[in-house]
A = this chain, B = another copy of it.
Amino acid sequence: MFYPAERLRDFTCLFFEKLGCSSSEAGQIAAVFLSAELRGIGSHGLIRIPDYYRLWKAGRLNTNPSIKVTRETASTAVVDGDNAPGMLPALFSMKTAIEKAAACGTGWVSCRNSNHFGIAGYYAMMALDHDMIGICLTNANPLVAPTFSVSRLLGTNPVAVAVPAGKQPPFVADFATTPIARGKLEVSVKKGEKTLTGYVQDKKGNPTDDPDILRKGGSMLPLGGDREHGSHKGYCLAATVDILSAVLSGAGFGPFVPPSVAYLPLPPEGNGKGTGHFFGAMRIDAFREKHEFTAAMDKWIETFRNAKSADGKPGVLIPGDIEREQEQLNHKRGIKLLPAVKGELNDIAAETGMDMKL
């Protein structure tokens, strides 16, 4: 069933108000959820509302937070998210990074004591309106084993980078540091299909095509898949994301990231607070006249778009192309919700006394 974006936004907003958020904060959170839905990243959309609800019911989510800068220099800050829904510390942190960049060229914020924040690309893209390059990294629930290991020590730790262009739409990369997102494994499980090798390994470290292996002690592999194909590089990248997000801020690192679902226990205390994120904003004109930069970026995009395709392959995509097309389509056609998701959301609406039903 298809819903207008506005309706899903209202539903999400009302839900977070019922959890105790102010209407302004609930609206800000809803905007991030809707951006995921519109951009075709439904895995980070309303399907996750039940997870937030259960974390909140378990007393593991603070909907009346005091988010603040705990340390700063001219170009940096550390933010404590006070265990809020991750969107609020993330929005606060990225705004801080943008303010710092306006004042001294670049701004860099490491954030602790946060939670799952939706799509990283949302925060990176906030920089675009300010003629800045935006960067956003986050650590996440440990599911990924470093090269040679079977221990789940890293999350799918995404990297998002948004770069403004001129006549061309912006370059927006937002990618996990694993070959695929965890959500794709779930889809294969639900369809009863095998997955490709190179995504996961069993609990002894053997290759497998069983998409359900995470429930059997298995783990995801870093980008690259195996050592011969550069999994140590995916591991380096995910590790860098973890260090900048968590070791720099004092968040839980690696295996100590708190789960974003309530059915998994909290990690042992004393290893950092909450989930960690890292944000960057770089003013274009700190480096180059804006018109020169955007002209060069347009040429970069045109050069790549006009590259020769491999036999039988479509044209080269610029990062952000697919999501932008999805956004246009979903605005026009409406956003699809699976019946099971709709049912669960309506149950939650009833439980929380929301005056709305999907």
Q: Are A148 and B316 in contact (CB under 8 A)?
A: yes
Digitize A129-150: 1 where CB-to-B-CB distance is under 8 Å, 0 elsewhere: 0000100000000000111111
Q: How many copies does the complex hold?
A: 2
Q: Are A161 and B236 in contact (CB under 8 A)?
A: yes
Bound-state CA distance A106–B332 (Å) is 44
Pick from B74, B293, B311: contact of A206, CB under 8 Å: B311
Q: Are B106 and A296 in contact (CB under 8 A)?
A: no
List B contacts of A299 (CB < 8 A). 271
* Stretch with Cβ within 8 A of B (4 or more), from A56-64, A247-255, A257-265: A247-255
Q: List 27 A-B contacts (CB under 8 A).
A: A75-B75, A75-B105, A106-B106, A110-B287, A149-B316, A150-B308, A150-B309, A150-B310, A151-B308, A153-B304, A159-B237, A171-B239, A173-B237, A179-B229, A180-B230, A196-B228, A201-B310, A204-B310, A205-B313, A206-B310, A232-B317, A236-B319, A247-B296, A247-B297, A253-B303, A254-B303, A255-B303
A333 at the interface (CB under 8 A from B): no
Q: Are A106 and B75 in contact (CB under 8 A)?
A: yes
Across the interface, name the chain B residue whose C-beta is closest to A74.
Answer: B104
Across the interface, name the chain B residue whose C-beta is closest to A244.
Answer: B133
Classify chain A's interface size: 35 or more
Cβ of A137 to closest chain B Cβ, rounded Å:
12
List B contacts of A171 (CB < 8 A). 239, 243
Q: Are B173 and A236 in contact (CB under 8 A)?
A: yes
Cβ of A160 to closest chain B Cβ, rounded Å:
10
